[in-house]
Amino acid sequence: MIKQMDENLSNEYFIDYFLNRISIDTFNKQIKSNKKLTNIYEAFKYAFFNNITNNAGMHYLILGAKIIQNTITVREYEEQEYNLPTDLKDCIILHYYCNPIQTNNLLPIVTLNPNNPEKSLLIYPYKKKSEKANAVSITITIICIDKKKKDNIITTLLLDAFRYYTEKQYRYAIIAAHNAYELSAKKFFKRLSKDKNFNSAKNNLSNISSESISNIALKYLPLMLSLTKKPSPPTIITKNIKLLTELRNLLMHDAKISNKEKIYLKDYILSSLFICKYFELDIPIKDYPQKSPIEDLPETIEPTNLDEKITILSNK
C-alpha cells in the first residue's frame, strides 16, 4: 500500500522538483522503490499511474485525498451501512473497493448508499447457494477528500481528468486536464497583476482574461521569469503541456485520439497537475529557502510487503 502523504510535505516535494534543490541520493532516501527514480514526477508517474493503482483510486492521493481501511464481518441476511468516521466528517467519498478475505457461500456486495452517497456505503450479503452460509470478512478501502478541496474548481477539474483517464474516456480527460491548466495559469497572472512589483507590466496583465492560453504560456511566463530570475517549469512539464494543448485543439475539430497518443496521456495529465502546482505555489516569483526540509527527515524504512511498489514518507 502506498502511504498517504501529508499535504505540506507533498508541497515540499513539488518545490524541491521545481527548484532542483535536492540531490538524487537524498530523494532516494525518502522515496523507496524497486525502480530507480530521480524526482517526484517520476515517482508519481510510476506509483500512481499504472493499471493497479489507477483502478484502486490511489492517484487521487496526490490531489490531497485520504485513504482509510476497515475490516468488516458480513453475515447472511444482515445488510449493513458503513459511514465515514467522525474525524472525516468534512470528507466525501471519491472511490472505494473491497477485498473479500474469504467468501465461501457468502459474497458481499458493496454499493454507495443512494440516500447518502458522499458519506456512506451499503453492504449486502449475497448467498451463492441456498444452504446456510458462514460469516465472512472483507476489507473495505475508501478514498475520500475534504469537501473544501473538492469545491476548488482546479482540484475538481484534475479529479475529473484522473477519473476520466481511468474510465478510458480520454477526450474528456484531455479537456478537463487542459481546463485545469488554463484556469490555474490565468489565476496566477491575475494575482500577479495586482502585485506592486509588477506595475510596469500591469497594462498587459490586467487583460489576461482575454488572452489565449498559448499567449499566456509563450509570452507572459517567460517575461515574468526574466524579471524575477526564477526557474522555468522543468522541460518535460512544458513539453507535455504544449502537446496537451495541441491535442485539446485537435479535439475541438472532432479529431480522434490515436493509440500512440493514448500511451502519453498519463504524462499530459500528470504534467497538468504539476503546472497547476507551479502556479499555485508561486514558483515564478516567490523566494523559498535554498535547503529542503526533506533533507532533515529520517530515512524511510524499506518496504517489507512484496506487493508494495513504492513508499512515500508521511510526517503524520
Residue 312's pLDDT is 40
In this structure, are 160 and 242 located in the same domain?
yes
Q: Which DSSP string corresponds to the chain?
A: -PPPPPHHHHHHHHHHHHHT-S-HHHHHHHEEESS---SHHHHHHHHHSSHHHHHTTGGGGGGT-EEEEEEEEE-TT--EEEE--GGGTTEEEEEEEEEES--TTEEEEEEE-TTSTTTEEEEEEEESSSS----EEEEEEEEEEEHHHHTSHHHHHHHHHHHHHHTT-HHHHHHHHHHHHHHHHHHHHHHHHT-GGGGGGHHHHTTGGGS-HHHIIIIIHHHHHHHHTPPPPPHHHHHHHHHHHHHHHHHTTTPPPPHHHHHTHHHHHHHHHHHHHHHHTTTTT----SS-GGGGSPPPPPP--TT--EEE----
Asked which of 20-24, 27-31, 229-233 is least confident by mean pLDDT, the reply is 27-31
Residue 43 pLDDT exceeds 70: yes
Number of domains in the chain: 3
My answer on whether 128 and 157 are in the same domain is no
Residue 115 has pLDDT above 90, yes or no: yes
Instruction: Provide the domain limits for residue 56.
Output: 7-64+293-312
Residues 271 and 158 in one domain: yes
| Residue 164, C-beta contacts closer than 8 angstroms, at least 6 positions apart | 170, 172, 173, 176
In a domain, 2, yes or no: no
Let me know the angle formed at the C-alpha of 63 by 61 and 67, rounded to the nearest 5 degrees.
25
In a domain, 1, yes or no: no
Q: Assess whether 180 and 249 both reside in one domain.
A: yes
Could you tell me if 191 and 274 lie in one domain? yes
pLDDT at 113 over 90: yes
Q: Is 140 in the same domain as 115?
A: yes
The reply to whether 30 and 111 lie within a common domain is no
Q: Which range (206-220, 226-240, 280-294) has the least confidence?
A: 206-220
Predicted pLDDT at 30: 75
pLDDT digits (tens, 9 = 90+) for 117-175: 999 999 988 777 777 777 888 889 999 999 888 889 999 999 999 999 988 999 999 99
| 34 lies in the same domain as 128 | no
Q: Greater confidence, 108 or 3?
A: 108
Residue 288 lies in a domain: no
pTM over 0.75: yes
